[in-house]
């Protein structure tokens, strides 16, 4: 059997980052930056008031209380400003530029709020309540580095440095196609021998959680010709295809039957539990990566985390590898088959971890109740309670 790490390495050797493109800021949320973004100006661009109050010369407000004439109002957005003469003050609003001559702002709360004349009760420090030009960002400074995922605050600073268009790597478009003649669409009644189809919903959601676009292509029956038809049609809009089911050792394995003869997808046994039967290759004229995941829901989910998610990260220009782990102490004994790396569904609480009941690869409810996977190495078959283990938080 092929080690987990080698299977992932083989996959990553065949997937490349998507070509960057330039998009309007409104369409950049969730994408990954494909450039270093710098600011053309300092931020703030000019010294301005941090509060509503009065722009003063600090030396005029040493002995308080003091009453001084107010010469004018300075509002946010005001351009041409007169200098403040000795013994005079200007009423100033938050964000308004500091007039020349003034070197402190007295908050309105320290005054009587006068309009023609103001009485000030507290002495301001030199520079009080002034936001200095460039104290957030220097001109030419990199505010966001290539490889940064654009969330709300990153979008904010892109706009804040005046960018309207930005170079990003697009989200990979991932089509999820389930196979199985037993599968009924949720919302429809179950016939004899049927189960509700869950993998395409789960995997498309996992794709979105990984920052890519997930599309459900629904489910096809175990008919290789029909499977190939649907796959062909879906390839047009896909950067990646994920299939579930139809890759095991039995009969009626449409994915394997349809794709194995084409010679472009390698079907292999990977030394893991759950999720031993794996397939990966590049198909169609565009060499679209295809992951043929096993059909058991827990197997397909774990396979997604170990192999598909890193590939999606690579395609977005992000660092890619096996999921990060933390260490925890198991409260119960753990069992694992020899020669296979196990991913046990578990609940992680602080630094302790407890496996959930129901470790079968069909036990989706147990998976849904877990918040972590305990990784048990290939050579270990049993661990006593109190053992330190590696855990993948979900």
Q: Which spans of this chain sit near Mg ion (rule: CB under 5 A)?
A: 180, 245-246, 295
Q: How much is the CA Rg of the chain, to the nearest whole Å?
A: 31
> How far, in Å, CA of 38 to CA of 393, rounded?
35
Tokens of 330: 């198991």
> How far, in Å, CA of 243 to CA of 176, rounded?
6
- If the CB atoms of residues 293 and 389 are measured against Mg ion, the closer one turns out to be 293
> How far, in Å, CA of 32 to CA of 168, rounded?
5
| String marking each residue 288-307 x if it binds ligand AMP according to CB under 6 A | ------xxxx----------
Quick one: how far is CA 244 from the chain centroid?
Answer: 24
Smallest distance from ligand AMP to CB 252, Å: 8
- If the CB atoms of residues 264 and 362 are measured against ligand AMP, the closer one turns out to be 362
> How far, in Å, CA of 28 to CA of 331, rounded?
44
Question: Which region among 14-22, 85-93, 241-249, 310-318 touches ligand AMP (by CB under 6 A)?
Answer: 241-249
CB 177 within 8 A of CB 233: no
Ranges within 342-381 binding ligand AMP (CB under 6 A): 362
Burial of 189 (0-12, 13-18, 19+ CB in 10 A): exposed
Does position 198 bind ligand AMP by CB under 6 A?
yes
Smallest distance from Mg ion to CB 270, Å: 18
> How far, in Å, CA of 351 to CA of 335, rounded?
20
Q: Which strand (E) or helix (H) includes residue 158?
A: helix 152-160
Tokens of 381: 């078959």
Of 248, 352, 369, 387, the one binding ligand AMP by CB under 6 A = 248
- If the CB atoms of residues 167 and 208 are measured against ligand AMP, the closer one turns out to be 208
Instruction: Tell me which residue of 159, 144, 132, 133 sits closest to 42, measured CA to CA.
Output: 133
Does position 310 bind ligand AMP by CB under 6 A?
no
Does position 224 bind ligand AMP by CB under 6 A?
no
Of 53, 97, 246, 274, the one binding ligand AMP by CB under 6 A = 246
Q: Beta partners for 346?
A: 355, 372
Smallest distance from Mg ion to CB 183, Å: 8
Query: By beta-carbon distance, which residue lies closest to ligand AMP?
Result: 295
Does position 195 bind ligand AMP by CB under 6 A?
yes
- If the CB atoms of residues 293 and 354 are measured against Mg ion, the closer one turns out to be 293
Smallest distance from ligand AMP to CB 364, Å: 8
Rounded to 5 degrees, φ, ψ at 133 are -55, 130
Rounded to 5 degrees, φ, ψ at 58 are -55, -35
Does position 176 bind ligand AMP by CB under 6 A?
no
CB 299 within 8 A of CB 249: no
| String marking each residue 13-52 x if it binds ligand AMP according to CB under 6 A | ----------------------------------------
Does position 199 bind ligand AMP by CB under 6 A?
yes
Query: By beta-carbon distance, which residue lies closest to Mg ion?
Result: 245
Task: Report the chain's terminal Cα–Cα distance, integer Å.
Answer: 26
Smallest distance from Mg ion to CB 179, Å: 6
| String marking each residue 146-165 x if it binds ligand AMP according to CB under 6 A | --------------------
Rule CB under 6 A: which residues touch ligand AMP? Answer: 178, 180, 182-183, 195, 197-200, 219, 244-248, 294-297, 362
């Amino acid at each position: 059997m092929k080690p987990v790490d080698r299977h992932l390495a083989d996959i990553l050797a065949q997937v490349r980052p998507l070509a960057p493109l330039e998009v309007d800021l409104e369409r950049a949320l969730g994408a990954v930056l494909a450039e270093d973004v710098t600011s053309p100006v300092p931020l703030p661009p000019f010294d301005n008031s941090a509060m509503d109050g009065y722009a003063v010369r600090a030396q005029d407000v040493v002995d308080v209380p003091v009453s001084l004439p107010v010469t004018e109002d300075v509002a946010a957005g005001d351009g041409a400003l007169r200098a403040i003469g000795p013994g005079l003050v200007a009423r100033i609003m938050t964000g308004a530029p500091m007039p020349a001559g003034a070197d402190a702002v007295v908050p309105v709360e320290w005054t009587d709020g006068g309009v023609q004349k103001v009485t000030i009760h507290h002495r301001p420090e030199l520079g009080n309540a002034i936001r200095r030009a460039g104290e957030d960002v220097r001109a030419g400074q990199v505010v966001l580095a290539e490889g940064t995922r654009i969330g709300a605050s990153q979008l904010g600073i892109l706009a804040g440095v005046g960018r309207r268009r930005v170079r990003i790597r697009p989200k990979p478009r991932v089509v999820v196609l389930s196979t199985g003649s037993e599968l009924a669409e949720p919302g429809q009644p179950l016939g004899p021998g049927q189960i509700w189809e869950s993998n395409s919903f789960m995997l498309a959601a996992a794709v979105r959680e990984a920052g890519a676009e997930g599309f459900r292509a629904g489910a096809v029956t175990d008919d290789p010709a029909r499977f190939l038809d649907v796959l062909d049609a879906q390839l047009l809009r896909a950067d990646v295809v994920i299939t579930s089911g139809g890759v095991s050792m039995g009969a009626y394995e449409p994915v394997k039957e349809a794709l194995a003869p084409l010679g472009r997808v390698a079907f292999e046994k990977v030394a893991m539990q759950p999720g031993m039967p794996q397939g990966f290759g590049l198909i169609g004229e565009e060499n679209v990566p295809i992951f043929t995941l096993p059909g058991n829901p827990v197997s397909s989910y774990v396979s997604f985390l170990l192999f598909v998610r890193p590939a999606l990260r690579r395609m977005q220009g992000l660092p890619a590898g096996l999921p990060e782990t933390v260490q925890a102490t198991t409260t119960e004994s753990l069992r694992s088959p020899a020669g296979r790396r196990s991913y046990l569904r578990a609940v992680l609480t602080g630094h302790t971890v407890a496996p959930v009941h129901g470790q079968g690869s069909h036990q989706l409810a147990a998976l849904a109740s877990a918040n972590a996977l305990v990784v048990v190495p290939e050579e270990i078959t049993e661990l006593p309670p109190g053992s330190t283990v590696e855990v993948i938080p979900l």
